[in-house]
Amino acid sequence: MSLALRDLRSKSLLPGTSACPGCPENMAMRMVGMALGNDVVMVVVAGCSSVIQGIGPKNAYGYPVLNIAFAAGSAAASGMWRALRQRNKDTTVVVWAGDGGTADIGFASLSGAAERNENFIYLCVDNEAYMNSGGQRSGSTPHGAVTSTTPEGKKENKKELLFLMLDHHIPYVATASVGYPHDLIDKLRRAKNIEGFRYIQVLTPDPYGWLFDPSRTAEVAKLAVQTCYWPLIEVSHDKVTVSNESLHCLKKETRRPLRDFTSLQGRYKRLSEQDFQELEKYVDYLWDRISKLMD
């Protein structure tokens, strides 16, 4: 769909934040405002966005914000939605969490809320490490990536959150990338109009953890999709849709070379040929599973 300039005006993020140059989370926060409007309350799980917003009682986010510990985001959002319902409020409740607060420390409460089909949107901004505390590996860090705790490159593959959430049989699961704003905004708007638990995982490449020039955040986010490292997909009430930007990934022969994505990032500087092949196998496996979902 087309996006007019007037749609870019958003009060979800005020200027002058303490974000690093090239911050993908600020990009994603602006898109949330474009998609969901102003009647939103935000539960921010500990991470970069806890700092970016500034010091209370005022902050840079245009929403009421509850900052909370890693493990408690989904539990707090569950209670918040119930409290709003008691007051006959139709406010959209959004959990905003990084991959550490999603794949690792916060997964228990996330899984519980999904199993109960709680009525809120869970947004995972996935920068593939604990970037706010020094860039330590997370369960979402990919194979071969150098972090402060994996100086020789991580030996395990990225945790498959997309499929883990699909196994909860919730009404809506999607992936997106800050490199494709229209796709993310469209998915957020569709999610807003669905009742029950909605999960969206957004790739947010971090220039300082992934070690690329901050001016190239959007470019790296696009390359992740174009090389099929990151899928753009949504599953709504068991209907699987692959976004146009990712359709070429369904056939291996039409995919862009994965090295176009890895070669821009310093975190892959120790990537051996064997590690690169392992990363390619992960991409093949990812798309094999997505293809089977579509059968």
Kindly tell me if the per-residue pLDDT of 44 is higher than 80: yes
Q: What is the 3-state secondary structure (H, E, C) of 139-166?
A: CCCCCCCCECCECCCCCCCCCCHHHHHH
pLDDT for 142-180, tens place per residue?
999 999 999 999 999 999 999 999 999 999 999 999 999
Report the C-alpha gap between 143 and 68 in whole angstroms. 30
Which domain, by its residues, includes 84? Answer: 5-294
Residue that the structure tokens 């990812």 belong to: 286
Structure tokens at 56: 């209370």
pLDDT digits 0-9 by tens, 222-273:
999 999 999 999 999 889 999 999 999 999 999 999 999 999 999 999 899 9
| Total-model pTM | 0.94
Mean pLDDT estimate for the chain: 94
pLDDT at 5: 43
Looking up residue 224, the CATH number of its domain turns out to be 3.40.50.970
Residue range 78-105, pLDDT digits in tens? 999 999 999 999 999 999 999 999 999 9
Contact partners, residue 42, CB within 8 Å, separation at least 6 = 61, 63, 64, 65, 66, 94, 96
Span 171-209, pLDDT tens digits: 999 999 999 999 999 999 999 999 999 999 999 999 999
Looking at the 3D structure of the chain, how many domains does it have? 1
- pLDDT value at 295 more than 90: no
Say yes or no to pLDDT of 8 above 50: no
In this predicted structure, what is the pLDDT of residue 56? 77
Distance, CA of 105 to CA of 193 (rounded, Å): 29
pLDDT band at 55 (very low <50, low <70, confident <90, very high): confident
